Amino acid sequence: MGSTNTRAVALDDGAAALGCSGARTVQGQALAIPATQLPAPDPAGPSDASVFQVSYDVSTGSGTLARVPLVVGDGGVPRLLAPLWDAAAVLAATPPAARHIFTSHPDGAQSGATVPFEWARLALSQRAALDRPPGGTAADGFGPDRVAWLRGERALEGSTLRRRTGLLGDAVHGTPLYLGAGLNLFGDAAYAAFLARTLRRAPAVYLGANDGMLHAFDAGTGAELFAYVPALLVPVLNALPDPGYTHRAYVDGPLAAGEALIRGAWRSVLLGTPGAGGRGMFALDVTDPAAFDAGLGALWEFTERDDAAVGHVMQPAQVARLKLRTRNGTPEYRHFAVTGNGVNGQDGNGALFLLALDRLPAERWRLDSNYYRLDTPAVEAALPAGLGAPALVTGAGHVLRHAYAGDLQGRLWRFDFTRNAPWRGNPAMQPVFIARDATGRRQPITQPPKIVHAEGGGYLLLFGTGSLYGRAERDPARFVPQSYYAVYDDPAAPAPGAPLGRADLVDRRVDGAAGDADFVVTGRPAAFGAGDRAKGWYLDFADGAVSGERSLVAGALADGKLVFSTVVPGSDPCADSASRTYVLDALAGFPVDGGGNAQAGGVTGLLSPGPIHGAPLILPGPRTRTTRDPAGRVSVARDTAIVHFTEGGLATDSSSASWPAGRLSWREVANWRQLHRAATQAGRP
């Protein structure tokens, strides 16, 4: 479909690296899972965590996924052991006929049905697309061979079809997703049966790759459990086996998982996107990945053909339970995939989508019936638009109450779902903050905020600014200052007359130059909250117009500390980016001293020579009790190791926290029974 978007962003599909000399295998994203979340006994043996590590070479279009045990030695120094398995090697030894590869049927009575990715089982339109060369319109008779090649058959490589170095494609932007047992969210009998079922399944690791597939691997052995080819990509798969193939993105977007009640049964759901490979997303039933076709299979795909506002979704979606309405005194709930529309939607605007997970496969997408769209129109004609990933706030029964998401025009939006569908208009949706640099230029927000509870009620929303969607944004001439923000918002308070801005926040100044090994952070202490209090804090990255430093990935929280990394592209578009790691007290915005206290004048922003891949691994250490002080108080202290995965290996940091042990104080409540009874009765409907 043609696009009317005149503010489109040039996306990085990985091909830009081919223009640089010395193309090589590079480290991709890494996912670290603490040993406490892995099943026992762990085939990796005694370890503190397992790292699922991606590497790839765009010059050959090949990739790997390895499981590497991590142990923390004396002094808290982590080290990686020998890989337990390499999924690419396991896949290479798997006969093509033994692979379980599926897609969705797009046509006729079978529309939406999950079918094997085999020539005889594909729809006529899919076979027609695969039976012609790239750019051609006439059939050439090689369709069955192309499908066999995509399934892993190598007999025709080097003659009529492209020669490969491996079957697993490169995952330039793909991040592994680990899914083990269920989340244990509810207590009813149906959910308990579902949870028991998930405890018996083999944990799986999911990865999208530019071989056109979403892969599910057994986390214990590395064997492929199944693969899924999004139907929206089938029309362009004929380019992959072509001897003249030039790199492009296919399944190169983020993954997410959740649980949903679908057609009367609880299911584990995976949400995936092609990223730069296409406009849209897909949902799969992964309750039993070892028997994918015995479950519901592919739940649906949602593309620009279903709604023109859908763009390239570059951040993960989420599964949420929403209350639609109350009928005859009974609330009605439904589970949705909640996602921003991404970048380069056809109309150039932003939108939040809610896509019903229980939509029937053959059912057409219908606005305000099985999906909802909450539009966030662009206001700056010269700037690209598009809404990023939301962060969700849930209440009783894990029902969604509010969502926060940022857009490319610097607006942080709040969406209110406490009322009935369709949740549009003011005050159901409104921008609560606009990010601008010191000169007033808008700063793009491409990550979901982290949310912490503020003292006295409300939330503090933590997020950074900046984007890096294409090679053009590595051009030093286009560098602009970016920042990190902590913004206060209280959904229960009266709506403000206008969105907040940096003038409503207190600054956290970085003392240092762009090339310094780390920074000193200064500023005045402040109380944040309602009334005349400050509405948060901000930190401008040092010499941002020179270094290009920006924040692309959501931070992590540990013991009240905010941990986030930034990208420092530098002046050479072909050179590896550097990175920095910041550890700040989430509420105060200052670095933390050895005693776990936020202090102005503390040091953070550690510079690393290569890019950081994936979220940090947070490894809390053992708790230790101090001796009693003269007042008889005892404190508990804990050191937390923070491990980052960089091109050059492991980078470590640490954070300390302490808190009083035991009972802080007590008072006698003589009428507690009456108070308890009154509270119980007040809570009844």
Amino acid at 600: A
Q: Could you tell me the residue range of the domain that residue 287 belongs to?
A: 24-303
Which pTM does this prediction carry?
0.91
Burial 422-441 (b: 16+ CB within 10 A, else e): ebeeeeebbbbbbbbbeeee
Spatial CA neighbour of 359 closest among 423, 437, 285, 263: 263
- Please report whether residue 201 resides in a domain: yes
Percent helix / strand / coil, the chain, rounded to 5: 15, 35, 50
Name, in order, each residue with C-beta under 8 angstroms of 320's C-beta and a sequence gap of 6 or more: 258, 335, 336, 338, 354, 392, 394, 400, 403
Sheet hosting strand 556-558, strand order edge to edge:
556-558, 561-568, 578-585, 606-608
- Residue 610: per-residue pLDDT: 82
d(C-alpha 346, C-alpha 280), whole Å: 12
Domain-ending residue, one of 284, 303, 322: 303
The one-letter code for the residue type at 278 is G
Return the beta strands (E) in 235-363 as ranges: 255-262, 265-272, 280-285, 298-303, 318-327, 330-340, 350-356
- Backbone phi, then psi, for 58, in 5-degree steps? -70, -20
Please report the pLDDT score of residue 632 as a whole number. 59
Give Cα 530 to chain centroid, integer Å: 31
Q: What Cα–Cα distance (Å) separates residue 541 from each residue in 448, 475, 516, 547?
A: 19, 18, 12, 9
Q: Which of 272, 303, 334 is the last residue of a domain?
A: 303
Q: Is residue 366 part of a domain?
A: no
CA dist., res. 316 & res. 309, Å (int): 17
SS3 state of residue 428: coil
Q: Give the pLDDT of residue 495.
A: 74
Residue 103 contacts residue 229 (beta carbons within 8 Å): yes
Total number of domains constituting the chain? 2
Distance of CA 489 to the CA centre of its chain: 23
Give CA–CA dist 135/403, Å, rounded: 42
Q: Is residue 331 part of a domain?
A: no
Asked if residue 197 belongs to a domain, the reply is yes
Contact 319, 258 (CB under 8 A): yes
- Spell out the residues 6+ positions from residue 267 whose beta carbon is closer than 8 angstroms to its own: 194, 259, 260, 261, 285, 287, 295, 296
Amino acid, res. 229: V
**Does residue 464 fall inside a structural domain?**
no
Structure tokens at 604: 């953070």
Per-residue confidence (pLDDT) for residue 549, from 0 to 100:
95
Q: Environment class of residue 505 by beta-carbon count within 10 Å: exposed (0-12), middle (13-18) or buried (19+)?
A: buried
**Is residue 606, in this structure, part of any structural domain at all?**
yes
Distance CA 213, CA 167 (A): 11
In a domain, residue 272? The reply is: yes
How far apart, in Å, are the Cα atoms of 50 and each of 56, 71, 78?
Answer: 20, 9, 12
The encoded tokens of residue 83 equal: 């890989």
Residue 170 identity (one-letter amino acid): D
**Does residue 116 have a cis peptide bond before it, meaning omega lies within 30 degrees of 0?**
no
E strands present in 497-634: 506-511, 519-522, 536-540, 556-558, 561-568, 578-585, 602-604, 606-608, 617-620, 624-625
- Residue 675 counted as domain residue: yes
Let me know: does 205 contact 177? Beta carbons within 8 Å.
yes
Beta strand ranges found along 13-86 (DSSP E)? 26-34, 49-57, 62-72, 78-80, 85-86
Question: What would the two tokens of residue 428 be?
Answer: 């159901």
CA separation (Å) from 392 to 61, 105, 376, 431?
36, 33, 18, 16
Residue 500 and residue 559 in contact, taking contact as beta carbons nearer than 8 Å: no
Successive 10-residue mean pLDDT values, the chain, 685 residues: 66 68 75 85 78 92 95 80 96 98 92 96 98 95 98 94 97 94 88 94 96 98 98 98 96 97 97 97 98 96 97 97 95 98 93 98 95 95 93 96 98 96 89 98 97 92 94 87 97 86 96 91 88 91 93 91 91 79 95 85 90 78 62 62 75 60 40 42 40
Checking 437-443 for CB contacts under 8 A at 24+ apart, the result is: 437/480, 437/481, 437/482, 437/483, 437/540, 437/544, 438/481, 438/502, 438/540, 441/480, 442/380, 442/383, 442/409, 442/410, 443/410, 443/480, 443/481, 443/482, 443/483
Domain boundary among 303, 322, 339: 303
Question: Checking DSSP bridges between strand 224-229 and strand 101-104, what pairing results, if any?
Answer: parallel
